[in-house]
Amino acid sequence: MNYSKEDVEILSRHVSNLDKNVYVVYNVPPEVVSVLFAYVSRSPASFRDNLLKLIKSDELGFASEKSASYFSEAQKKAAEFHKKWVVGFGHFSVAEHAVLNIAIERVSILFTKLIEDNRLASYTEKSTRYQIFDRNSYYKPKRIMNSKFANDYEQTMNSLFDFYTENFDAMLEFMREKYPKHEQMNERFYESLTKSRACDVMRYTLPAATLTNLGATFNARSLVHAIEKLLSYPLEEARTVGMQIKEEASKFLPTLMKAAEKSSYIEETEKALRELALREIGESKEENSEEGCEGKEFEVRVVSYDKDAENKLVAAMLYKHLHEPFEKVLEKVRELSEEKKQKIFEEFFKRITNRDAPLRELEHIYYTFEILVDYGAYRDLQRHRMCTQTAQLLSTKHGFSMPKEMKEAGLGDEFKELMKEAKELYGKLAEEMPYEAQYCVPLAYKKRVLYTWNLRELYHVIRLRTGKAGHKSYRKVAQQCYLELKRVHPFIAKYFSVDLSE
C-alpha cells in the first residue's frame, strides 16, 4: 500500500517500519494493541493498515497527538470491545496481546514463590548470590505482630540477620583464603566471584520473610489468573500485594482487570482439601533430630514414570515423518532391534549443542520426581516452570542443610543454634497460623516438592543445573535427577548432557 505523507507521519509514531513484513507496534496502550491484534482474525488488511484506519476514522477515538487525551478515547473504545468480547463472551485469548511489565518491591521471598508459581510469565528477582541483604529488611505479617508471638518473631528475625550481617566480612575473608586469586585472574572478577561464594553460604541464614524485589512480565490473560490466585490465598501479604498489582494494572488494562477477582473455587477448594488431608492422612512426627542437619542433605526419587517410555519416544521421533496412526508406529518400533533403536536416538541427539533445545518429541514422555531440598535451592529449581509443581508448605519438619564452609569458617555451632531458635518459633506459630509460620523459616530448611517434568524440560534442567557455575545445592539435586533417570531408563539417559563432577 502506498501511504500519503500524512499516513507516514501517523504510522511512524506507532510501527517500526513501513515497508517490511515484520515490524513492531509500539506507543499504543496495551488494551488498544489487544483490539488491533484481534482484528487480524476477521480483517484481510495488514496491521499497519488497520491501525491507520483506526486512527484516521477515529474508530477507537484517537485524537491529535498534541492533545493530552491522545489515547483516552481509544482506551474507552477498546474498553467497550473488551467488555463485549473478552468479559462478556469469554474470548480471553485476545487479552494475551496486552502485556505489562510490573515492578514489585519490598515483598517477602515467600511471596515471590507464590507469584512465580504462574507458569506463563517472565520474572527476574533480586539475587541472594550477588547482593547483600540489609538488617531489618524482613516482612512483619500483621497476624503475627498482633499476636503474643510478636516479640519472639522480631527477636528471631533480628538474630538471623545479625548473624548474616556481622559475619559476612569474615566469610569473605575465609573465601579469599580458601580460594586465592590465580595470577592471570582479573582482580575485579575475583572479588565478584569471592562475594558470590560468600553470599552462597550466608544465604542459608536468610528467613523466608526477607524483603526482596521482583520484575514480572505478564500478558493480561495470565495476569488476571495470577491476581485471582493471590486474592484467594490465605496469606494477607498475598491478598494485599495482589490488590496492589490489580490497582496498578487497571491504569493500563482497566476493562480486563475487572475480571480479576477472588475465586471462591480456589479459596474454598484448597481449604476443604487441607482439612481432608489432615483428617484422613494426618501429619507424622518430626523426621529429623533437633539439630536437623544430621538427616539427609537432600533426596530425589522418581515416583512415577512410563515403563515403555523408550519405545514411545522412538515412535514419537519417527511419527511426524509418516502418515500412519501412532499405535501402528509404536507396534513396529517394538519389533526393532536395540541397535536400530539406538541408531534413531543417535540421529536425534548427535547434532545438538549447548545452544540448542532438543526437538519437541521429548515432550511426550513424563516423569514425576519427589524432591526434598533446602528452600534456597528450591527457589532456583522453581524457575523451571514448563512442568507441573506441587509444593508443600515451608516448615522445619525435615531438618536443614549447612554448607561445609559454614563449619570451616568457625560459624557452625552458632548457625545450628540459630536454626534451633527458628525451629522453636516455627513450632509455636504453626499450631495457630501454619501459613504465617513459614515467614520465620530460614532458607537452610528443607521442603518437599512434587515435579512432573516432560523429558524435554528434564533435559534442560539437568544440562543447565549441573553446570559448574551453579550453586552446589541445586547442582547435587540435578545430578541426582540424572542418576534416577539413568536408573530407570539408561537407554535414554546416555544421550543427556550432564556434569557429574564435584
pLDDT tens across the length of the chain (502 residues): 789 999 999 999 999 999 888 888 888 888 778 778 777 767 788 888 888 887 876 555 554 443 334 455 555 555 555 555 455 545 566 678 888 888 999 999 999 999 999 999 999 899 998 899 988 899 999 999 999 999 999 999 999 999 999 999 999 999 999 999 998 899 999 999 999 999 999 999 999 999 999 999 999 999 999 999 999 999 999 999 999 999 998 888 888 888 899 999 999 999 999 999 999 999 876 555 444 454 577 899 999 999 999 999 999 999 999 999 999 999 999 999 999 999 999 999 999 998 999 999 999 999 999 999 999 999 999 989 889 999 999 999 999 999 999 999 999 999 999 999 999 999 999 999 999 999 999 999 999 999 999 999 999 999 999 998 888 889 999 999 999 999 999 999 999 999 999 8
Is there a domain that residue 173 lies in? no
Last residue of a domain, which of 50, 82, 97? 97
The tally of domains found in the chain comes to 4
Is there a domain that residue 478 lies in? yes
Is there a domain that residue 190 lies in? no
Residues 151, 231, single domain; the answer is yes
pLDDT for res 66: 39
Residues 341, 384, single domain; the answer is no
pLDDT for res 69: 45
pLDDT for res 34: 78
Residues 353, 474, single domain; the answer is no
CA neighbor of 57 nearest in space, from 10, 89, 115: 10
CATH code of 433's domain:
3.30.1360.170
- Cβ contacts of 140 within 8 Å, gap of 6 or more: 153, 154, 209
Last residue of a domain, which of 329, 345, 361? 361
Phi, psi torsion values for 454, nearest 5 degrees: -80, 165
CA distances from 411 to 65, 264, 275, 422 (A): 63, 48, 41, 17
Residues 105, 93, single domain; the answer is no
In angstroms, the CA 346 to CA 348 distance is 5
Is there a domain that residue 459 lies in? yes
Residue type, 387: C
Phi, psi torsion values for 43, nearest 5 degrees: -105, 135
Residue with the three cell numbers 526393532: 336
Is there a domain that residue 251 lies in? yes
- Residue 201: is it exposed, middle or buried by C-beta count within 10 angstroms (0-12/13-18/19+)? buried
Cβ atoms within 10 Å of 142's Cβ, excluding its own: 12
Q: Are the C-beta atoms of 165 and 135 separated by less than 8 Å?
A: yes
Could you give the angle at the alpha carbon of 266 between the alpha carbons of 140 and 393, nearest 5°?
Answer: 45
pLDDT for res 63: 44
Residues 126, 272, single domain; the answer is yes
Q: Which domain holds residue 219?
A: 101-166+206-280
Is there a domain that residue 502 lies in? no
Which secondary-structure segment (H or E) carries 447? strand 446-454
Residue with the three cell numbers 480483517: 43
Residues 427, 451, single domain; the answer is yes
Residues 109, 21, single domain; the answer is no
pLDDT for res 67: 39
Phi, psi torsion values for 67, nearest 5 degrees: -75, 145
Last residue of a domain, which of 97, 131, 153? 97
In angstroms, the CA 416 to CA 411 distance is 9
- Cβ contacts of 11 within 8 Å, gap of 6 or more: 3, 18, 48, 51, 52
Residues 111, 85, single domain; the answer is no
Residues 120, 161, single domain; the answer is yes
Residues 481, 378, single domain; the answer is yes
CA distances from 274 to 48, 161, 270, 488 (A): 52, 33, 6, 33
Residues 26, 89, single domain; the answer is yes
Q: Are the C-beta atoms of 448 and 370 separated by less than 8 Å?
A: yes
Global pTM?
A: 0.86
Is there a domain that residue 373 lies in? yes
Residue type, 150: A
Residues 420, 313, single domain; the answer is no
In angstroms, the CA 122 to CA 109 distance is 17
Is there a domain that residue 76 lies in? yes
